Amino acid sequence: MQNLWNEIEAAGFQGDLQQRVYTSRLLGRDTTLVMHGGGNTSVKITEKNILGIEEALLYVKGSGWDLEFIEAAGFAPVRLDHLVKLAKLKELSDPEMVNELKTHMTNAAAPTPSVEAILHAVLPFKYVDHTHSDAVIAVTNTANGEQRIREIYGDSVLIVPYVMPGFDLARMCADLIERYLTDRMVGMVLLSHGIFSFGATARESYERMIELVGRAEYYLKHAQAWDVVQAEPPTDVPVHLQDIVRLRAGISQFAGGPVILSTQRDTKSRAFARHPDIARLSQQGPATPDHVIRTKRVPMLGLDVPGYAEQYKKYFDVNDKLSGVGKTMLDAAPRVVLDPALGMLTVGRTAKDAAIVRDIYDHTIDIILRATALGGYRALPEKDIFDVEYWDLEQAKLRKSGKPPAFTGEVVLISGAASGIGRACVDSFLARGAAVVGLDINDAVATLLDRPDYCGLICDVTDEASVQRALEQAVLRFGGLDMLVLNAGVFPPSCNIADLHYEEWWRVMNVNVDASLALMRLGHPLLKLAQNGGRVVVIGSKNVPAPGPGAAAYSASKAALNQLARVAALEWGRDNIRINTLHPNAVFDTGIWTSEVLETRAQSYGLTVDEYKTRNVLKVQVTSQDVAELAAEMCGPLFARTTGAQLPVDGGNERVI
């Protein structure tokens, strides 16, 4: 366990609260301690209120903040005396507790205090740190975990048996602290939950945490229970992408809506999935109560085994009986699937959710294997898992979550995504909750955005092998394909037919028609399994209904693409796939409209560039965003009964009208 304290960095954080910010960030940098909003920290400060009266306040991490990036505004100031008095009550429901925390803050704009605020308050130390250390939990989650903790720490920590986070835990700790806390104790271990450290300064509390966790790591290493990840077997099993897509479809069906299914094929995940005792190890439950909501129970089902769908049906039937009243449909589906061929697949309503589950279970694998090496992994009892999963505060979160964006859990692939209409489509679909796969021959597509719901792939869409690889990466990343936007295209310089060479003709046809055909043909098996039905939007051109001089290759290619879309609409309706076409015109903020092209096109009509830009009925300019917004809407519920349509986005063209 590395001590990250840096004197130069620390000097930039002046005052008690800022020091709290600094060491909280240090803890947040280490994912073996906390991740994705886990853990909490606090500091006790005396301040004058508006009446000039000094009050003792507990500044505790607020809900929704991540320790790694926390600011002073992420700490909620709560009146300390009131918290201490609450700990003496015989009972207090969780909603009542949250109400007391919120109504006794001194800053109404502050976030909701951590549910462990009362526990922080009763610890008689200025600074308190709490983490879910992988190493500590690996030790506690064994049959004789408490005994091992005593071997590691002796009388330097207070040991607390497992109680669900909230008021009951705070009240128990308050009693144990009053009866057993000694001057020799620098921390507190909550069995199957985590570890606390405390001190007079931020540095002291932080360094005690590092030292305590380091002792647990040393214990595991000394017991030969640290480096326990198996080497990947030398033989490999072929991966059939259609199996992943079918699996996602099945999970989506049981979840009551589309989900993201992300595949992790690293050595550790695949080796764990092939562990000889995986059926038992994977079914015992999560490592800590902090992970219950995200990981659920884990079925061990091989995709290469015939009848896997029936196996899942059996699992879901059992899981429905376990989950009880109040569950959401997603609760009926697994959060993690372990497969010997694929490794670890994680499920989420969004790509971010699936990534969180992946990160959590990646650490859970370490915990399970290390605890197993110590003599046997033991998770929380089923009753405790159920209690945390459906406790009042978690159900309140579900009620407040609201209606998700329209494309939540769905995946769209957009060709020509690096610029122009394609780039605008990326933003429009992301704004509606979709996970986006962007293809482009321009390598800028790979670094267009840095977020879990975007995957930019460098791809030559005229190369079918490259397209196939791109679809494979899309399936591994997000689980399937629900929507396809055919946008990639070229618009060559103006050229009369008499001067048009075959090489240029076939180059345009290859990009504008052949590449779209490949994407449609290869994407069809994936779109067939879309939970809400597959959708394809073709970016056509005004030149289809109203071609112009000097654009023979472009007009003919777009007309061919338009006919291809119409035939596909006829053929694919039986597969619940709808295909519609947009015909934009004069969208000048795209890559094909270079100054040279714009000038030559304007000249061919005897117009200036400015006149050419607004030569439509409405006298307006059409932007890439205008086209992208309509493309996204065509994939939404407003067009649910429409296929084979052609819609102009051109400001009104007299020849089209």
Which distant-in-sequence residues (6+ apart) come within 8 Å of 497 by Cβ? 552
Which distant-in-sequence residues (6+ apart) come within 8 Å of 424 by Cβ? 623, 624, 625, 627, 628
Q: Which residues of 471-480 are buried (b: 16+ CB within 10 A; e: fewer)?
A: bebbbbbbbb
For helices 515-527 and 552-572, angle between their N-to-C axes, nearest 10 degrees: 20
Q: What is the DSSP letter of 329?
A: G
Which distant-in-sequence residues (6+ apart) come within 8 Å of 530 by Cβ? 249, 258, 410, 480, 481, 482, 483, 576, 577
Q: Which of 59, 153, 554, 612 is catalytic?
A: 554
3-state SS string over 393-445?
Answer: HHHHHHHHCCCCCCCCCCEEEEECCCCHHHHHHHHHHHHCCCEEEEEECCHHH
CA dihedral (241, 245, 248, 249) in degrees, to 10, reads -160
Long-range contacts of 496-499 (CB under 8 A, 24+ apart): 496/549, 496/550, 496/552, 497/552
Q: Rounded CA gap, 439 and 419, in Å?
A: 11
> By C-alpha distance, which of 77, 38, 82, 36 is closest to 60?
77
Q: What tokens were used for 119?
A: 């526990």
Q: What tokens were used for 262?
A: 């992300």
Residue pair 194/33 in contact by the 8 Å Cβ criterion: no
Tally Cβ neighbours within 10 Å of residue 603: 14
CA 456 to chain CA centroid, nearest Å: 16
Q: Strand order in 336-339's β-sheet? A: 260-264, 343-348, 336-339
Q: Regarding beta strands 40-48 and 194-199, do their DSSP bridges make them parallel or antiparallel, or are they unpaired?
A: unpaired
Residue 280 backbone class (left: φ over 0; alpha: ψ -120 to 50; beta: rest): alpha
Burial class (CB in 10 A: 0-12, 13-18, 19+), 306: exposed
Residue pair 302/235 in contact by the 8 Å Cβ criterion: no
Active site residue 612: no
For helices 515-527 and 464-478, angle between their N-to-C axes, nearest 10 degrees: 30
Which distant-in-sequence residues (6+ apart) come within 8 Å of 116 by Cβ? 40, 60, 130, 165, 169, 170
446: helix, strand or coil: helix
Q: Rounded CA gap, 274 and 233, in Å?
A: 9
**Positions marked catalytic:** 554
